[in-house]
Structure 1
Amino acid sequence: ADLPNDAALRQKLSGLRDQATLATGQSMLLQYHGDRIMKALAAKGVAARIVKGPVFARKLYRHAADRPFTDIDILVDPASIGEANNVIAECGFTLGSGEAESHELQEFKWLEKENSSLLIELHGNLVHDTGMRRR
Structure 2
Amino acid sequence: MNAPAMPTAETLPLPVGDGPAAAVLRWLCDPRPDIRPSALASLPLGAVLEAAIDAKLVCLLAHRLLGGPADASLSRPMRSVLGQIGRANTLHNRLHRGEAVRIVRALTGRDVPVAVLNGLAYDTALYPPGGLRQFTDIDLLVDAADRDAALDVLAELGFTQPGRGAHTRRRTTGDALTPTVSIDITTGLGHTADPADVRAALARTQAEGDGGEALPVLARADALAHALARLAARPRWSGLADAARLALAAPGSSREAVAAVSEPLRAGWAVLHSHLPDLVPGPPPVAGGGPGRGEVAR
TM over 0.5: yes
Aligned counterpart in structure 1 of residue 102 of structure 2, from 33, 36, 42? 36
Q: State which drifts further: 108-117 or 75-84.
A: 108-117
The answer as to 2:111 corresponding to 1:45 is yes
Q: Which amino acid aligns with 1:109?
A: T
- Does the aligned pair in 1 maintain the 2:117–2:140 contact within 8 Å? yes
Helix, strand or coil: the match of 2:173? coil
Other-structure match for 1:105: none
The answer as to 2:187 corresponding to 1:109 is no
Q: Which amino acid aligns with 1:118?
A: V
- Does the aligned pair in 1 maintain the 2:170–2:181 contact within 8 Å? yes
Other-structure match for 1:26: 92
Mapped partners of 1:56, 1:28: distance in 2: 13
Q: Which amino acid aligns with 1:94?
A: T
Bigger fraction of residues in strand:
1
Q: Which amino acid aligns with 1:126?
A: L
- Does the aligned pair in 1 maintain the 2:86–2:130 contact within 8 Å? no
Helix, strand or coil: the match of 1:28? helix
Aligned counterpart in structure 2 of residue 122 of structure 1, from 181, 185, 189? 185
Higher relative contact order (CA 8 A, sep 6+): 1
Number of aligned residue pairs: give it.
122
Query: Percentage identity across aligned positions?
Result: 27
Q: Unpaired runs of 5+ in structure 2?
A: 1-68, 194-232, 234-298
- Does the aligned pair in 1 maintain the 2:141–2:187 contact within 8 Å? yes
The answer as to 2:141 corresponding to 1:82 is no
- Does the aligned pair in 1 maintain the 2:120–2:138 contact within 8 Å? yes
Other-structure match for 2:138: 72
Aligned counterpart in structure 1 of residue 129 of structure 2, from 41, 63, 80? 63
**RMSD of aligned alpha carbons:** 2.9
Mapped partners of 1:118, 1:35: distance in 2: 13
Larger Rg: 2
Bigger fraction of residues in helix:
1
Q: Unpaired runs of 5+ in structure 1?
A: 103-107
Q: Deviations over 1:89-135 (max 9, x none)?
A: 1111123236xx62xxxxx22212335431211111234xx9x9xxx
Mapped partners of 1:123, 1:64: distance in 2: 27
- Does the aligned pair in 1 maintain the 2:106–2:153 contact within 8 Å? yes
Other-structure match for 2:79: 13
- Residue 89 and residue 72 in structure 1: after superposition, are their counterparts in 2 closer, same or farther (change >3 A)? same
Q: Which amino acid aligns with 1:77?
A: D
- Does the aligned pair in 2 maintain the 1:93–1:112 contact within 8 Å? yes
Mapped partners of 1:58, 1:91: distance in 2: 25
- Does the aligned pair in 1 maintain the 2:163–2:182 contact within 8 Å? no
